[in-house]
């Protein structure tokens, strides 16, 4: 299934089901008022959602309308929880280099996950506002999962059964702030403004064999001002989403609607490019002696599109401009 949330002036938006090919859509508010409400009562409402989705794809819903990404908020405009990992070790190693942070001895065995802000997620085409471009505005292309309730101490193998939806994310970051916040030990706050999401959240079966081993095994194409800078594949994630969930649920339960991100998608093969500018810059520094790609400024445009091998974009497209608040 594929779900979107349309702007309707309310805080949680209007819940829609979108066809597999993202051409048409129909309100699902008769089944659940919001996507969060559907996640809260998933076992009860998902059969009705499945039936509606089947009729929509079969062309049997006379009131279906053209799918309009420009009306989309994030699938969950606000959520009870946003957890973001750094599960691509290639990225993590390069960022240690970039930030000159001390080596983490648990790097390969204990996932790095920070608790992020879930109160104000941004839609796929919404301008993103920042107070100052001297803060080193950066993007982070990621995949993520949306969970049902996960009991405390759920193991990694059981955890995957709690994945309800997959999402595609741009975790906007302010790199000039991050190192100070990391050194202080309390994690990211000012360094992580509102996060943006591709228009549709999808059930894992929508990826067929490309949802494998708890990883999203497709390439995330990232463009800055029309120039492709990355096409890294999600299959190189060191920890699976199941392992990340188990880590987060180790000392408490996770409530339905929790979103968990992979961290910046990154591949060892440098031909895959990068999903964030910091990584591009540190590679330039290592390979060429100096970083030359600038961080983002007013008017810059970032486009992210995960693609299946047939060229289709299962999550739709994130395409945002950086603007001054």
Note whether 250 binds its own copies by CB under 8 A.
Answer: yes
Give the shortest CB-138-to-its own copies separation in angstroms: 13
**Could you tell me the CA-to-CA distances from 112 to 6, 69, 87, 237 in Å, in that order?**
33, 33, 7, 13
The Cβ-side half-sphere exposure at 289, using a 13 Å CA radius, reads 0
Six-digit token pair at 318? 């994130």
Give the shortest CB-258-to-its own copies separation in angstroms: 6
Give the shortest CB-19-to-its own copies separation in angstroms: 30
Give the shortest CB-292-to-its own copies separation in angstroms: 26
**318-324 and 128-130 as β-strands: parallel, antiparallel, unpaired?**
parallel
Q: Which residue from 52, 248, 260, 318 is in contact with its own copies, where contact means CB under 8 A?
A: 248
The rounded distance, in Å, linking the Cα atoms of 321 and 227 is 14
Binding segment for its own copies (CB under 8 A), chosen from 20-28, 156-164, 245-253, 276-284, is 245-253
Note whether 297 binds its own copies by CB under 8 A.
Answer: no
Between vectors from CA 192 to CA 189 and to CA 196, what angle results, nearest 5°? 140
Q: Which residue from 9, 100, 227, 251 is in contact with its own copies, where contact means CB under 8 A?
A: 251
Note whether 78 binds its own copies by CB under 8 A.
Answer: yes
Six-digit token pair at 149? 């309730």
Residues 12-51 that bind its own copies (CB under 8 A): 40
Instruction: With beta carbons less than 8 A apart as the criterion, state whether 78 and 11 touch.
Output: yes
Note whether 65 binds its own copies by CB under 8 A.
Answer: no
Give the shortest CB-184-to-its own copies separation in angstroms: 6
Note whether 257 binds its own copies by CB under 8 A.
Answer: yes
Residues 110-169 that bind its own copies (CB under 8 A): 110, 112-120, 129-131, 135, 152-153
Note whether 81 binds its own copies by CB under 8 A.
Answer: yes
* Nearest partner of 192 among 169, 173, 170, judged by Cα: 173
Of residues 191 and 302, the one with the C-beta less far from its own copies: 191
Six-digit token pair at 143? 């995949």
Note whether 252 binds its own copies by CB under 8 A.
Answer: yes
Binding segment for its own copies (CB under 8 A), chosen from 102-110, 278-286, 290-298, 310-318, is 102-110
CB atoms within 10 A of CB 110: 11
Binding region for its own copies (CB under 8 A) = 11, 40, 78-81, 83, 86, 101, 104, 106, 110, 112-120, 129-131, 135, 152-153, 174, 177, 180-194, 247-248, 250-258, 325
């Amino acid at each position: 299934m594929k779900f979107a949330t349309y702007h309707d002036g309310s805080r949680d938006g209007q819940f829609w089901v979108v066809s597999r090919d993202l051409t048409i859509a129909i309100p699902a508010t008769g089944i659940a008022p919001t996507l969060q409400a559907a996640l809260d009562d998933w076992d009860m409402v998902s059969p009705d959602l499945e039936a509606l989705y089947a009729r929509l794809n079969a062309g049997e819903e006379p009131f279906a309308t053209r799918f309009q990404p420009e009306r989309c908020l994030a699938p969950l405009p606000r959520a009870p929880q946003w957890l973001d990992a750094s599960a691509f070790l290639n990225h993590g190693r390069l960022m240690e280099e970039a930030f000159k942070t001390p080596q983490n001895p648990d790097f390969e065995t204990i996932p790095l996950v920070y608790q992020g802000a879930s109160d104000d997620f941004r839609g796929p085409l919404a301008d993103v506002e920042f107070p100052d471009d001297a803060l080193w505005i950066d993007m982070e292309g990621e995949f993520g999962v949306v969970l049902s309730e996960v009991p405390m101490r759920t193991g990694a193998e059981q955890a995957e059964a709690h994945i309800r939806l997959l999402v595609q994310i741009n975790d906007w970051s302010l790199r000039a702030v991050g190192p100070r916040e990391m050194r202080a030990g309390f994690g990211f706050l000012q360094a992580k403004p509102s996060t943006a999401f591709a228009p549709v959240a999808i059930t894992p079966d929508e990826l067929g064999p490309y949802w494998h081993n708890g990883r999203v095994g497709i390439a995330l194409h990232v463009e800055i001002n029309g120039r492709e800078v990355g096409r890294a594949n999600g299959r190189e994630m060191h920890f699976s989403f199941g392992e990340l969930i188990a880590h987060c649920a180790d000392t408490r339960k996770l409530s339905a609607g929790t979103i968990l991100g992979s961290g910046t998608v990154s591949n060892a093969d440098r031909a895959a490019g990068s999903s964030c500018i910091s990584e591009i810059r540190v590679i330039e520094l290592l390979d060429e002696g100096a970083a030359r790609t600038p961080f983002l400024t007013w008017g810059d445009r970032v486009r992210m599109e995960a693609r299946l091998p047939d060229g289709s974009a299962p999550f739709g497209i994130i395409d945002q401009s950086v603007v001054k608040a």
